[in-house]
Structure 1
Amino acid sequence: MHAVVQDLEICIIGAGIGGTTTALALAKQGFRNVTVYERAPALGFVGAGIQMAPNMARILTKLGVWEPIADDGVAMEFYSIREGATGKNMGLVDCSNIEKDYGYRQTGGHRATLVNNLYDGCVKSGVKFCFGSSIDTTLDFTGRPTFTVTTEDGQSRQVQCDILLGADGIKSQTRVALLKHLNVTAGVRETGQAAYRIMLTRDQMKHDPELLALLDGNETIRWIGEKRHIVAYPISQRSIYNISTTQPDVNFAAEASATYTTKGSKKAMLSVYGDFCPLVLRMLDLAPDEEIVEWKLHVHDPLPTWVYGSFALIGDACHPTLPHLGQGAAQAVEDGAVLSIFLAALPDASPININKALVAYERARKTRAETLVNLAAESSRELHLGVGKAREERDRQFAAMKTGVPGKVPDKVMDVDVHRMTYGFDCMQDARVKAVSVL
């Protein structure tokens, strides 16, 4: 990399998975002036479990952080789909081939473990972090990007950089600023769905042998019913059972927090899943009232572009996805890795070539990310079918999985064709090839 490129001032807004991965990837490429601005006073997370697929693990290995993340996680041997009302096993996928075919197992992990290791890797690589730093929407995209930072004590200052990256999530202020600058409307859309996110400890489950077997098992399990489902799996070396639900958004508080979360009601939750099998109800009933959190699930309209000048969007800021495919975080990780490769290929530090690199990043990523957003939504529709012919056909397809020669799989997380597209694609190699011809 040219020395003048190494010294480019790169600012990243947001210290979530996308922001920290991008910062670490840039530092690993040799960039020496990377700063991350984060509104929160420190790293912190609501909800815990995260599915980490092989395409994500492959990148984290190259960034030098996968080993401790995997050591804390739990590799899944099977993926099970069960009928919510009866608990009957509708379909089962043996995941042992995933490691053989794609190099890594499907792993359930703790979100805090993932981001803390990314953060530690960033700090060791010289990335600077500014926590408690809010960014408003008055970004100046002309020339060198300029933005205003306001710290927790109310002090404001202007920051100018060579490259600005917006990784500030579904409620992205940088996206709002970009759309305003382009005079384009692409709003956040409510999906009509909400999710409870619950963690049960081994101590909470130990008095129920059937529940404890779930924690000690090797399955990711999805219980499905009309307009609702629950997915659960062990994390944190089997010390925690992570539970995430999806149901119609009817109980959510009128005023959501900045992260689209609110205090959930245990009574309401048990009512929503009241017709599910006793095992599920006993599991949900263990959740302490004060720890039940509900999330609104949002997506937004596809953006006409992720890039303007020396600015680009990353992760949920440009392609938020429903949590039904296990690829939301993975796609943010892919963004950061791919972006770092195009920027590292810069022949010089000119704004024209910086823009070329960012446009090449968008071309490499946009179609893939938006395709997976649509697949997640399609999977949701299949999982939540009510009584009728469509549901009968779906259940027939699930049953066919038990024969070992399934055709179409309604749950896209289990579909081998989707695996080939998601797990089998090496985004970093693809970017390296494309960077040669673009820059």
Structure 2
Amino acid sequence: MPHSTAADVYDLRIVVIGAGTSPLKTTPRPTPRSLTTLSGMGGLGTALAFAKKGFKNISVYETASNLGFVGAGIQMPPNVMRVLDRLGVAPEIEAEATDVQATSIRQGSTNEELAHVSMPDIREKYGFPHLTGHRSNLAGSLYNGCLKEPAIKFHFGTSLVNITSFSPKPTLIFRSRAQEEEFIVECDILLSADGIKSLTRSHLLRASHNLTQTEEEDTGQAAYRIMLTREQLAPFPELIKLLNSNTVVRWVGERRHIIAYPVSNHNIYNISTAHPDTNFASATSATYTTKGSKSQMLSVFETFCPLVQDMLNLVPDGEVCEWKLRIHKPLPTWVHGSVALVGDACHATLPHLSQGAAMAIEDGAVLAEVVSEIPAEKIHDGETITKTLKVYELLRKPHCTALVDLATHSGRVLHLGEGKAKEERDKAFKENGKSGSVPDKWASPDVQKMIYANDCVKEARERFGELFASL
């Protein structure tokens, strides 16, 4: 821990909003807790990053009464594993994860392989592996890491109501299930990881730009998320072979695709889809999840091959859940006063690059790095804090915006219908990445190099002075 002085930047009171994870009922690892919220990795990662950097007073406010980690699979590419390693949680995560060695991109209707991109040297190239795992393992490892840090205090069952001041000291009004009256919290810096429907974002945009709406954008896409156990897959040798592999498989078709990979020590096969949104289209302000019907899910992919039909038919009736895939237009700012947004609150993305959680965790690591650069004599200077948070925005916003745009582009390419563009795409697929580029940008070596080689903490450390001076 850095040396303390009479005025110590590490004494700053840091408030983080949001620590929950996605409320998907699947096959979680054993836990006595339940879960009801939508934010998560960014909040936990931010709190842990500040504690690891030496900050002494970190309060995390979460709407859920407690944290029980369920959810679907998640990809953890080298860029986020680099951060997780710094946070001390990588070994726990890697113990249950799958080390991805290849991707197989297939025509959904025939199961014909369009491309097979080998990735055996990811760890060698970038210093860290590309893993697939259970969200419960990632979130639980971050939470366990937080519990080991005396600087971090969790306040469960507590919801943000209002922000009455943004600078120099953010003043927040909370409502707790443990007491009748609302209460006020003052802090030095507020970091909000409260997700796509961020209340903080609404208050921040209203205060900074007089915007009365959050500029959410309908992608026209929805997703089913499915987890099948080894026992369920046992009667199907071809599916067991996929479960035992270190390969990510993507079946593509017009306006829809399925991506699947093993998690939980190869005991669960995680399946996620992207397909046209019909259930949410007429109710964009409604909840972003709904119970779906199995027959409807099967009809969405009725033109896909028998292997896909076998997988989808294994989903028990009554356990079909569908998510609306939402993003928001690029925000005019992520920062106002001593308040900054983190993760989906400022750069929600489509899942086609598998960078959503990674970007959120990276955000927290960069914030901890830049805030630690505040001179001791300036820790109560609102202008210095604002400029420091603006450095975070300058570091992260161009990078995250580029990835959000690239994920959208990749989705369009994956979902092409019959025609010349699809023919050209499939021709490019057959090169298997030998040219350095693959139409599925998640599997494209040039894109992987751009994302996986990026060390966000190192960049923050090296560029802080230059960027701070430019403000």
**Partner in structure 2 of residue 178 of structure 1:** 204
**Partner in structure 2 of residue 424 of structure 1:** 453
Unaligned runs of 5+ in 1: none
Q: Distance in 1 between matches of 2:412 and 2:333?
A: 28
Q: Is residue 437 of structure 2 the alignment partner of residue 408 of structure 1?
A: yes
Q: Distance in 1 between matches of 2:71 and 2:273?
A: 12
Q: Distance in 2 between matches of 1:330 and 1:135?
A: 25
Shift of 1:396: 0.5
Unaligned runs of 5+ in 2: 20-39
- Residues 376, 139 of structure 1: CA spacing in aligned structure 2 closer, same or farther, 3 A cutoff? farther
Decide which of 366, 370, 374 is 1:338's aligned counterpart.
366
**Partner in structure 1 of residue 418 of structure 2:** 387
Contact 1:42 1:131 in 2 (8 A): yes
Shift of 1:409: 1.4
- One-letter amino acid of the counterpart of residue 73, structure 2: G
Shift of 1:186: 4.3
User: Deviation digits for residues 187-227 of structure 1, max 9, x if unmatched?
Assistant: 11110000000010111111221211111112100000000
Shift of 1:105: 1.8
**Partner in structure 2 of residue 165 of structure 1:** 191
**Partner in structure 2 of residue 33 of structure 1:** 57
**Partner in structure 2 of residue 363 of structure 1:** 394
1:96 counterpart SS class = coil
Mapping of 1:58-69 within 5 angstroms? Answer: 58-69=82-93
Contact 2:193 2:341 in 1 (8 A): yes
Shift of 1:32: 0.5
Shift of 1:138: 4.0
Decide which of 223, 230, 234 is 2:251's aligned counterpart.
223
Q: Distance in 1 between matches of 2:342 and 2:144?
A: 21
Shift of 1:406: 2.8
**Partner in structure 2 of residue 435 of structure 1:** 464
- One-letter amino acid of the counterpart of residue 51, structure 1: Q
- One-letter amino acid of the counterpart of residue 262, structure 1: T
Q: Distance in 2 between matches of 1:88 and 1:285?
A: 21
More deviation in 73-82 or 39-48?
A: 39-48
- Residues 259, 53 of structure 1: CA spacing in aligned structure 2 closer, same or farther, 3 A cutoff? farther
Q: Is residue 316 of structure 2 the alignment partner of residue 285 of structure 1?
A: no
TM-score, normalization: structure 2? 0.90
Shift of 1:72: 0.9
Shift of 1:267: 0.7
Q: Distance in 1 between matches of 2:177 and 2:266?
A: 38
Q: Is residue 364 of structure 2 the alignment partner of residue 325 of structure 1?
A: no
Shift of 1:359: 0.8
Q: Distance in 1 between matches of 2:102 and 2:437?
A: 18
Mapping of 1:105-124 within 5 angstroms? Answer: 105-124=129-148
- One-letter amino acid of the counterpart of residue 395, structure 2: A
1:304 counterpart SS class = coil
Contact 1:171 1:258 in 2 (8 A): no
Q: Distance in 1 between matches of 2:425 and 2:71?
A: 30
Shift of 1:97: 2.0
**Partner in structure 2 of residue 354 of structure 1:** 385
Mapping of 1:154-303 within 5 angstroms? Answer: 154-182=180-208, 183-184=210-211, 185-252=213-280, 260-303=288-331
Q: Distance in 2 between matches of 1:367 and 1:411?
A: 22
Shift of 1:260: 1.6
Q: Distance in 1 between matches of 2:161 and 2:283?
A: 21
**Partner in structure 2 of residue 144 of structure 1:** 169
Contact 2:194 2:345 in 1 (8 A): yes
Shift of 1:84: 0.2
Contact 1:187 1:301 in 2 (8 A): yes
Shift of 1:253: 8.6
- The sequence identity of aligned pairs, in percent, is 52
Q: Distance in 2 between matches of 1:243 and 1:21?
A: 25
